[in-house]
Amino acid sequence: MTPATRSGFVALAGRPNVGKSTLVNGMVGRKVAIVSDKPQTTRRAIRGVATGPDWQLVLVDLPGVQRPRDPLTQRMQKRVVAELADCDAALLVVNGEEGVGPGDRFIASALLAGGAPVVIAVNKIDRLDRTGAVQALTAAAALAVGDDVFPVSARSGQGVDALVQHLVGLLPSGPFFFGPEDTSDQPLDVRLAELVREQVLRRTFQEVPHAVEVVVDDVDTSNPGVTAVRALVWVEAASQKSILIGSGGHMVKAIGTAARKELERELGTRVHLDLSVRLRRGWRGDDRLLDRLGIE
Ligand SMILES: Nc1nc2c(ncn2[C@@H]2O[C@H](COP(=O)(O)OP(=O)(O)OP(=O)(O)O)[C@@H](O)[C@H]2O)c(=O)[nH]1
Ligand SMILES: [Mg+2]
């Protein structure tokens, strides 16, 4: 007889930039979601998988909760609502450094209405002294969505194991949904495109990060030592295109060099990255393109 296992889905809810993706990466033990200091980094629901001897915790990283402005952000918010309706437990992530605000209260009340058990993670406690941490934890507990409030630093890893153990305890018994070696549900081309986009986000400001999408349209593994990857960086305006190319091409070169290292780490081979910047006016408002991008 096979031993009893527990397995289920925990969806992460929270305002943009509170550290949901960093926390998912920390719990999975591998980078499955890209991270940036710009809000609205995450655009898709990304399942990150952590597997123990007799449990499998599927963490659903989600876009930050925000007011939609265009078809892209409308889809992102619809996805958040759908995933939260379908999870075994919700993990509400708040930014301990900023404290609890109206946005967190709004999300907490939506989670309460959802009915699944809610756990709160107060993140970024590495930025707080003892008094600040106590204040943040007290404010989080006052959200009154559950008794379980965990102080964590997704960046340093502090408190992350305790949180994982607690979440595992909430899972229903049942078979694994993913193979024990799997860490993500995202297809290879999307994972690679996201790693390129992460390097774009690091180097761009204001409106530009929001206007960029990356599409990987060819991954050639026919040469065993070197994977050839072709990536297109979409922008919405000619001015954004010139920013991304940079004077004498130095910006696109810097993005390409940094991204190539990330792709090499991900693929475990050397990588030849062919990167080009393309004007795609209004892609954020184009339902057909958003479907093609798998943002739904
Ligand atoms: N100091 C500190 N910074 C953190 C911690 N966790 C995340 N960050 C930083 O917070 C910023 C946002 O992190 P993300 O993980 O991208 O946040 P997110 O909630 O997924 O953001 P969206 O996808 O935009 O909703 C990044 O600059 C992270 O490095 C933490 O524990 N401590
Ligand atoms: Mg994110």
For the chain, 296 residues long, give each residue's pLDDT as a single digit of tens. Answer: 566 999 999 999 999 999 999 999 999 999 999 999 999 999 999 999 999 999 999 999 999 999 999 999 999 999 999 999 999 999 999 999 999 999 999 999 999 999 899 999 999 999 999 999 999 999 999 999 988 999 999 999 999 999 999 999 999 999 999 999 999 999 999 999 999 999 999 999 999 999 999 999 999 999 989 999 999 999 999 999 999 999 999 999 999 999 999 999 999 999 999 999 999 999 999 999 999 999 99
Distance (angstroms) between ligand 1 centre and the Cα of 86 equals 25
Cβ–ligand 1 contact at 16 (below 6 Å)? yes
d(CA 94, CA 169): 21
**Sign of CA pseudo-dihedral 168, 165, 25, 226:** negative
- Residue 44 is classified by DSSP as S
Distance of CA 107 to the CA centre of its chain: 18
Closest CA to 65 of 101, 33, 22: 101
Query: What span, in angstroms and rounded, lies between the C-alpha atoms of 292 and 283?
Result: 11
Calpha distance 83→61 (Å, rounded): 10
Distance from the alpha carbon of residue 227 to the mean position of ligand 1, in angstroms: 30
- From ligand 2's centre to the CA of 103, what distance in Å? 16
Measured in Å, residue 153 CA sits from the centre of ligand 1 at 10
Answering whether pTM is above 0.75, one says: yes
Asked if 93 and 119 touch (Cβ cutoff 8 Å), the reply is no
Q: 41: Cβ below 6 Å to ligand 1?
A: yes
Cα 295 to Cα 42, 46, 80, distances in angstroms:
11, 11, 12
Residue 124, ligand 1, Cβ within 6 A = yes
Strands 55-61 and 6-13 come out as parallel
Ligand 1 pocket test target in 22, 95, 127 with most atoms within 8 Å of CB: 22
For the Cβ of 155 lying below 6 angstroms from any atom of ligand 1, the answer is yes
Q: Which ligand is nearest to the CA of 35?
A: 1
Three-state DSSP class for 218?
strand
Check if 17 has its Cβ closer than 6 Å to any atom of ligand 1.
yes
Token couple for 82: 């759908």
Residue 74 is which amino acid? Q
Neighbours of ion ligand 2 (CB under 5 A): 20-21, 41-42
Give the pLDDT confidence score for residue 2 in this predicted structure: 60
Run of H or E residues at 48: strand 46-51
Could you give the C-alpha distances from 180 to 50, 57, 118, 175, 195, in angstroms and in order?
8, 11, 26, 11, 24
Spacing of C-alpha 231 from chain mean position: 20
Terminal-residue alpha carbon distance, the chain: 40
Res 147: pLDDT: 81
In this structure, which residue's CA is closest to atom 7 in ligand 1?
Answer: 19
Q: What is the edge-to-edge ordering of all strands in the sheet holding 213-220?
A: 213-220, 226-235, 270-279
The three-class DSSP label of residue 160 is: helix
What is the Cα–Cα distance from 55 to 3, expressed in whole angstroms?
11
- Ligand 1: does its nearest atom lie under 6 Å from the Cβ of 18? yes
Please state, in angstroms and as integers, the Cα–Cα distance from residue 167 to each residue in 9, 10, 36, following that order: 10, 8, 25
Other Cβ atoms less than 10 A from the Cβ of 177: the count is: 14
Residue closest via CA to ligand 1's atom 32 equals 124
Ligand 1 mean position to 36 CA, how many Å? 7
